[in-house]
Amino acid sequence: MTDNPTTGNGDSASRAAVASYVATLSADLAAMARKQGLETLGYLLEMARLEAESANRANSGPSGRI
pLDDT confidence band for 58 (50 / 70 / 90)? confident
Predicted TM-score (pTM) above 0.85: no
Q: How far apart are CA 12 and CA 65, in angstroms?
A: 6
Domains in the chain: boundaries:
12-59
Q: What is the pLDDT of residue 2?
A: 52
Summarised one tens digit per residue, pLDDT across range 22-53 is 999 999 999 999 999 999 999 999 999 999 99
Work out the mean pLDDT of the chain and round it to a whole number.
85
Q: How far apart are CA 42 and CA 31, in angstroms?
A: 7
Q: What is the pLDDT of residue 60?
A: 75
